[in-house]
Amino acid sequence: MESEEKTQQQRIAALWQTLEQEHKAPQSTEIPYLSALTVEDAARLAQLWPRLPAAERRRLVASLVQLAEGDFSLDFAAIFRLALHDLDATVRASAIEGFWEDEDAQLIPQLTRFLLEDEAEEVRVMAAQCLGHFVLLGELEKIRPRPFEMACEALLAAHNNPQETLEVRRRALESLAYASLPAFPELLQTAYAHPAAPLRLSAVFAMGRSADPRWKETVIQELHNPDPAMRYEAARACGELAAAAALHELVELTEDVDSEVQEAALWALGQIGGELARGTLERHLHSTNEALQEAAGAAINELEFLHGDPTHFLGLPEDFVGESDTRWEELFMASDADEDWPEDEE
C-alpha cells in the first residue's frame, strides 16, 4: 500500500515537472492525475499554461477529452474552463467538446457567445453542437426555460445568418432538431430543399432527431438516394423515427455496397424491431465481416431492450460490445459567464 502511494506521488511529481520544466503535455498514464484539481493546483496550472506551446496545449486538451469520454469519474472541468480562453482556436474547440455532457445551464451564455462571435469556424461549429445537448435538456425540462430559450435563439440566429458558413449553419440546424419549435418544420423543409448537399444531409439527420413522424415518408424515399452519405443518414433517421414501413428497404440496405450504410441499416432494424428485423440481424451475426457482426450483435441487444425481454440479450461477448453512441472550478469561470439566472416570472 505504501509502495503504491509512493508510486502515485512520483507520477504526480513527474507530471508537474513535465508541465513546468519541460513545457510539454504529460504522458497519457499521468494525465488522469489532473482530474479534480484543487484550487491551488488549478492556479498552478493557469500560471504555467501560457508557457506551453500551442501544439502541447492542443495535445493535452484533446487527451483530456478522450479520457473523460471513456471514464466518467474523471473531472477535468477546471482545465476545460481554463482552455476556453486559450488564444488557439483548436484548443478552444476541444475545451468546448469537453463540456459535451455537462448539464450546468450557466455554460449557455458563454457557448452562445462562442457560436455568434468567435472568429474561428471550428469553435463556432463545436459551440453549435454542444448547445444541442442543452436544447435536449430544455426539451426534457431539466433546465429552466430562460437558458433553454437563449440556446434556441442563438442557434436560430446562426442558422439563419446568410453570412455564416454552411458548416456552422447545418450544425445549428441539427441541434435545433431537439426542440419542439413551431417554426422548425418549415426551417427543416427549406434546408431539405437547399442546393447544398451537406445541408440536405443535415436536414435528413434532423428529421430523425426531431422524432416527428411527419418526416417518415421523406426519409424512406432517401433510402434509395444514389449518394451513400444520404442513404446512411436516411437509414439512421428511419431508426430514430421507428419507421416500420421502411423495414424491407432497410433489409436490402444491409447488403449495400457501402459498409457504413450497411451498419446504419442494421442499427435501424434494431430500433424498429419485428421478426423480419430480428431474422436479418441474426443472419448477419454470421457475417465474415467483423464490423457487421459487431453491429448486428449490438442491434439485437437494442431490439431486445426496446421490444423484447432484456433477459434474452446476447450477453456481453466482447465482440458485440461497442462504444456508447448517443465534468468546474470557480477559479477559471469567466466573469461574464457567471450570470445567475433570475427567477422566472410567474
User: Residue 274's domain is classified under what CATH number?
Assistant: 1.25.10.10
Q: Is residue 243 part of a domain?
A: yes
Q: Is residue 345 part of a domain?
A: no
Residues 277 and 192 in one domain: no
Residues 221 and 124 in one domain: no
Region 54-70: what's the mean pLDDT? 96
Residues 307 and 255 in one domain: yes
pLDDT at 44: 96
Residues 231 and 165 in one domain: no
Q: Is residue 136 part of a domain?
A: yes
**Residue 5 in this model has a pLDDT that exceeds 80:** no
Q: Is residue 13 part of a domain?
A: no
Domain extent, residue 31, equals 20-99
Q: How confident is the model at residue 10 (pLDDT cuts 50, 70, 90)?
A: confident
Q: Is residue 69 part of a domain?
A: yes
Q: How confident is the model at residue 327 (pLDDT cuts 50, 70, 90)?
A: very low
Question: Which three-class secondary structure string do you get for the chain?
Answer: CHHHHHHHHHHHHHHHHHHHCCCCCCCCCCHHHHCCCCHHHHHHHHHHHHHCCHHHHHHHHHHHHHHHHHCCCCCCHHHHHHHCCCCCHHHHHHHHHHCCCCCCHHHHHHHHHHHHHCCCHHHHHHHHHHHHHHHHHHHCCCCCHHHHHHHHHHHHHHHHCCCCCHHHHHHHHHHHCCCCCCCHHHHHHHHHCCCCHHHHHHHHHHHHHHCCHHHHHHHHHHHHCCCHHHHHHHHHHHHHCCCHHHHHHHHHHCCCCCHHHHHHHHHHHHHHCCHHHHHHHHHHCCCCCHHHHHHHHHHHHHHHHHHCCHHHCCCCCHHHCCCCCCCCCHHHCCHHHCCCCCCCCC
Q: pTM of this prediction?
A: 0.85
How many domains, in total, are found in the chain? 3
Residues 269 and 175 in one domain: no
pLDDT at 328: 35
Residues 154 and 128 in one domain: yes
